[in-house]
Every structure is written in C-alpha cells, then in structure tokens.
C-alpha cells in the first residue's frame, strides 16, 4: 500500500477542525485499506507525538459518529485481531498517551455496545481499572469515562465490572470534578 506522505499532526489538526475532515478521513482509511498503516503508527517504536496525534484522530472520529466506530476498532485490532496496538497505548509509560487511549475507549463505548465482545475476551477492562489508580488526574478522568460508558449500554459487562466498584466509589471523592461526575454517571 502506497500512502501519500502526510504528517499525522496535520491530519490530526484537520480532523479536529471540521466534521468534513472526519468523514474524509474515515472514508479514506476504508477506501485505501489504510487500517494497518494507522495501527503501525500506534507502535511503541513510534514517537510519542505521533502516537498522541493518532489517538486524538481516532478518538475524535469515534466521538463524531457511531458510523465510524468500526473503522477505529479495525485499526486498534491490527492484522491479527489481537489489539496489540490498543494494549501498547494503554501500557505506555507516557501518561498523556494512556489518558488519550482511555478517552478514545470512552468515545468508542459512548455510542453502543459494539466493543463489548472485545472487552469480554481481553484484559482491557483490567487495564482500564488499573488506570483508575494512576497519580495522573487526566488518566483517572479518562479511565472513569471509559468504564462509565462500558457499563451504560447493557448489563453484559456487570460481572466483569463488579471488582472495579470499590475503586469507582473511592473516586467519588477525587479532586477532579469531571472524574467524580464520570464515576457518578453524570455526563
């Protein structure tokens, strides 16, 4: 696949600036079968700035419309469907990357339960619950957003989320108002 050389930072600015670019990006990825290219940019070998730009793009695309969530999921799944790229960003030592990844998952889970099967067969919920304990307030806020949205659409994850309840209750006294609101289920 031969893709034009365009800075992920530029693509990020365009996608974040106007819905027209969100649509163009999503259609381009599908048309050019560029999912694996964007998966590769989430690699631990990529510079943090590129990883952050790609996460911001995917997060905004997922937030913009449920129509594009499957495209974002296919990028995160990778060629083997193992979600290695997702784990790489959730386990990154850079808290900006982890917070962005948690927020991206929150946006994926905002629209529907389409990502629930992935949550049921992977350790993603466990990793997200670990993010609730981070010292970084942005990571806690984003993880609480993702877990709140994971619990929203159906009860199919309740048994998997039950062990997280004590952490969520503890976050009701978090110093960040948005984290408290996420935990309390207020949008």
Provide the 8-state DSSP code for 115.
T
Distances (CA, A) of 153 to 80, 110, 148, 158: 27, 9, 10, 11
Task: Report yes or no: 104 and 143 within 8 Å, Cβ to Cβ.
Answer: no
Cα–Cα dist 101/111, whole Å: 17
pLDDT in tens, 70-120: 999 999 999 999 999 999 999 999 999 999 999 999 999 998 889 999 999
Cα–Cα dist 139/2, whole Å: 35
pTM: 0.92
Cα–Cα dist 33/62, whole Å: 18
pLDDT at 71: 94
Query: Which residues, including other chains, have CB under 8 Å from residue 143's CB and lie 6 or more apart?
Result: 102, 128, 129, 131, 132, 134
pLDDT at 75: 96
The answer to which of 13-17, 30-34, 84-88, 174-178 has the lowest mean pLDDT is 13-17
Largest CA distance in the chain: 51
Instruction: Map out the domains of the chain with their CATH numbers.
Output: 8-184 (1.25.10.10)
pLDDT in tens, 127-151: 999 999 999 999 999 999 999 999 8
pLDDT at 104: 98
pLDDT in tens, 42-73: 999 999 999 999 999 999 999 999 999 999 99
Cα–Cα dist 137/142, whole Å: 9
pLDDT at 112: 87
- Assign 187 a pLDDT band (cuts: 50, 70, 90): low
């Amino acid at each position: 696949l031969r893709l034009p050389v365009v800075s992920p930072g530029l693509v990020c600015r365009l996608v974040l600036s106007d819905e027209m670019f969100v649509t163009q990006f999503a259609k381009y990825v599908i048309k050019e079968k560029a999912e694996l290219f964007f998966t590769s940019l989430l690699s631990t070998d990529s510079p943090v700035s590129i990883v952050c730009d790609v996460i911001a793009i995917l997060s905004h695309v997922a937030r913009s419309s449920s129509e594009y969530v499957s495209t974002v999921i296919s990028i995160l799944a990778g060629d083997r469907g193992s979600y290695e790229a997702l784990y790489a960003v959730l386990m990154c030592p850079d808290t900006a990357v982890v917070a962005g990844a948690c927020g991206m998952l929150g946006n994926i889970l905002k629209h529907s339960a389409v990502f629930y099967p992935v949550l049921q067969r992977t350790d993603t919920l466990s990793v997200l619950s670990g993010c609730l304990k981070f010292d970084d307030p942005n990571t806690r806020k984003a993880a609480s957003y993702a877990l709140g949205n994971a619990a929203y659409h159906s009860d199919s994850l309740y048994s998997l989320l039950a062990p997280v309840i004590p952490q969520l209750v503890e976050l009701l006294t978090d110093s960040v108002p948005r984290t408290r609101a996420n935990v309390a289920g207020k949008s």
